Amino acid sequence: MSFEKKENCGLFGIYGDAGAVEKTYLGLYSLQHRGQESAGIASSDGEFIQCYTGMGTVGRVFRSGRGILEKLSNRMVIGHVRYSTTGSSNPINSQPLLCEYSRGQVAVAHNGNLINASLLRSEYEAYGSIFKTTSDMEIITHLLAKPTHVNKSDPLGHVLSHLQGAYCLLFLFADRIEAARDPCGIRPLSIGRTKEGGYVIASETCAFDVTGAEFVRDVEPGEIVTLNEKGLSSRFFVKPGSVKPAHCIFEHIYFAKQNSFLFGENVHEFRKKLGRQLAAEHPVEADMVTPVPDSGTSAAVGYAEASKIPFEMGLVRSHYIGRTFILPDQKLREFQVKLKLAVIKEAVEGKRVVVVDDSIVRGTTTRGKIRSLRDAGVKEIHMRVSCPPIRHPCFYGVDFPTKEELLANERDLEQIREFLEVDSIGYLSLEGLLSCAALPSDHYCTACWSGSYRIPVDVASGKFSMERYQRNMFDDLPEGG
């Protein structure tokens, strides 16, 4: 993990289970890797929706002894963990967002990024709409409430047809849960079944494991799934098969947890395949293979297996250090990187080491790790990366830096090698990456490497484009205790 790319968001919803709120808590906990800025849970008793959100991790927001989960206890529940890709890290942007309109209450949770949200917001503001948050998700509630939309035969399907970009959505109405996925299926969303007969929907299947649910299937691109007293039903707001899928393969490389089943295959096994392909494309003589934990570990195992070079843990990650990218001073960030990722000197001293990472974004913290290895007496360092060079920003829900900040932007491999201060560097080719995937190569989004955006981004706006007045001046401060 490079500490330079930031998480998505995580969704969890459950219908028809007596322990729904407790399982939602556990499901969100298992999805914590997808976002640590805020967390929230909304539940319905069939007539009234109540919601609680807060800043910080799931454990912090719903810490024991406060009775929050007990008050939310119902058989219909949705939850959310957030990392902001549109709108700042601010309490007003915590999700689920609960609001009322002419058809009653609705709570909404979102994972993804709407590239036309700023245009839609400006249009609605021009007609008098007042917005509470600065996230792209709120525009969906205004679309739902529009009088000409609520009278449609399928109001939700009509609303979704207005959206452009990547989105997985959970809607909690008083009497039902509805889940939707964009027509390209960019972000993952899966359906499970509990032992009690309830239905679960989550961003990753790892949330099913902890709640005792069985994987049923994925929500299809362009599909709306309804969970209510009749069970599960579905409909499509676009013609099935009319849009070619564009699954974010970076979910497989970095975001998803190793035990998740994603886009047709297990994440750990996929990353091992990347490592084996990387060894075939960039062999080197060395004494050991070591990963940059945690997301580089599976690829390093694959590289070691294919190269017959011993696998060894030369770097150890601390899970108790806060996020380095929120610190205000570069020296503090560099110091915290050393705390977060420690070198095992006895394992690496005097060795020729292959260091395997999932990706490199800015490269500054990667260079810091390399220097730490040099200080520990490593003889040679051969950097291997299990994806191609990232040269383009993402507009579909990954908070990469601007193009100008990307290490591989306008640098060739030799310049990257010199910047990182390594003896050699090898990136996995795009063709090699796609050859490891279970689905056809044209079913994945590769825009951050190729610059080919499946959904036009000429209307895309920046992360803070809707924060004309509400920018939080304390946004960059670390979380309190």
Structural domain boundaries in the chain: 10-246, 269-438
- Tell me how many helices (H) and strands (E) the chain has: 17, 23
> How far apart, in whole angstroms, are the C-alpha atoms of residue 78 and residue 472?
27
Is a pLDDT exceeding 50 seen at residue 297? yes
Is a pLDDT exceeding 80 seen at residue 44? yes
DSSP result, 130-182: --S-SSTTHHHHHHHH-HHHHTSSSHHHHHHTT--EEEEEEEEETTEEEEEE-
267-298: string of b/e by CB count within 10 Å (b at 16+)? Answer: bbebbbbbbbbbbeebbbebbbbbbbbebbbb
Read off the pLDDT of each residue in 374-384 and give the average, rounded to a whole number. Answer: 97
pLDDT one-digit tens code per residue, 152-163: 999 999 999 999
Q: Using CA atoms in the order 216, 222, 226, 232, what is the torsion angle rounded to 10 degrees?
A: -30
Give just the sign of the alpha carbon dihedral 266, 170, 112, 255: negative
- Both tokens assigned to 378: 């490593």
What's the pLDDT score for residue 294? 86
Taking CA atoms, 374 is separated from 313, 324, 347, 382, 459, in Å, by: 16, 22, 13, 12, 45
Is a pLDDT exceeding 90 seen at residue 420? yes
User: CB burial class (10 A; 0-12, 13-18, 19+) of residue 22?
Assistant: middle
Is a pLDDT exceeding 60 seen at residue 9? yes
Per-residue pLDDT band for 365 (boundaries 50, 70, 90) equals: confident
What's the pLDDT score for residue 5? 55
Q: Of 100 and 2, which is predicted with more confidence?
A: 100
Per-residue pLDDT band for 83 (boundaries 50, 70, 90) equals: confident
Per-residue pLDDT band for 397 (boundaries 50, 70, 90) equals: confident
Per-residue pLDDT band for 340 (boundaries 50, 70, 90) equals: confident
Give yes or no for a contact between 235 and 224, defined as CB atoms under 8 angstroms apart. yes
- Both tokens assigned to 399: 């908070």
Is a pLDDT exceeding 60 seen at residue 473? no
- Residue owning tokens 């007969």: 197
Is a pLDDT exceeding 80 seen at residue 115? yes
3-state helix, strand, coil in the chain (%, to 5): 30, 25, 45
108-136: string of b/e by CB count within 10 Å (b at 16+)? Answer: bbbbbbbbbbbbbbeebeeeebebebbbb
Lowest mean pLDDT among 160-164, 312-316, 339-343, 433-437: 339-343
Is a pLDDT exceeding 70 seen at residue 464? no
What's the pLDDT score for residue 373? 96
When the pLDDT of each residue in the chain is averaged and rounded to a whole number, the result is 90
Per-residue pLDDT band for 469 (boundaries 50, 70, 90) equals: low
Residues with Cβ within 8 Å of 466's Cβ and at least 6 positions away in sequence, in order, are: 86, 87, 117, 118, 121, 131, 134, 135, 136
The CATH architecture that domain 269-438 belongs to is 3-Layer(aba) Sandwich (3.40)
Of the residues 9, 206, 445, 448, which is catalytic?
9
Is a pLDDT exceeding 70 seen at residue 54? yes
Is a pLDDT exceeding 70 seen at residue 440? yes
Is a pLDDT exceeding 50 seen at residue 326? no
Q: Is 248 a catalytic residue?
A: no
Query: Do the bridges between strand 380-385 and strand 424-427 make them parallel or antiparallel, or are there none, so unpaired?
Result: parallel
What's the pLDDT score for residue 88? 53
What percentage of the chain reaches a pLDDT higher than 70? 88
Per-residue pLDDT band for 322 (boundaries 50, 70, 90) equals: low
CATH class of the structural domain 10-246? alpha beta
Lowest mean pLDDT among 46-55, 283-292, 319-328: 319-328
Is a pLDDT exceeding 50 seen at residue 3? no
Lowest mean pLDDT among 56-60, 93-97, 333-337, 413-417: 333-337
Is a pLDDT exceeding 50 seen at residue 57? yes
Number of Cβ within a 10 Å radius of residue 392: 20
State the pTM of this model: 0.90
Helix (H, G, I), strand (E, B) or coil at 416: helix
Give yes or no for a contact between 363 and 410, defined as CB atoms under 8 angstroms apart. no
> How far apart, in whole angstroms, are the C-alpha atoms of residue 355 and residue 359?
12
Q: Using CA atoms in the order 412, 414, 415, 418, what is the torsion angle rounded to 10 degrees?
A: 160
Give just the sign of the alpha carbon dihedral 359, 364, 367, 368: negative
> How far apart, in whole angstroms, are the C-alpha atoms of residue 172 and residue 176?
6
What's the pLDDT score for residue 332? 56
- Residue owning tokens 């406060």: 66
Read off the pLDDT of each residue in 254-269 and give the average, rounded to a whole number. Answer: 96
Read off the pLDDT of each residue in 370-384 and give the average, rounded to a whole number. Answer: 97
Q: Taking Cα atoms as reference points, which of 134, 29, 59, 51 lies closest to residue 90?
A: 134
Is a pLDDT exceeding 60 seen at residue 323? no
What's the pLDDT score for residue 401? 66
Read off the pLDDT of each residue in 239-261 and give the average, rounded to a whole number. Answer: 94
Read off the pLDDT of each residue in 411-420 and give the average, rounded to a whole number. Answer: 97
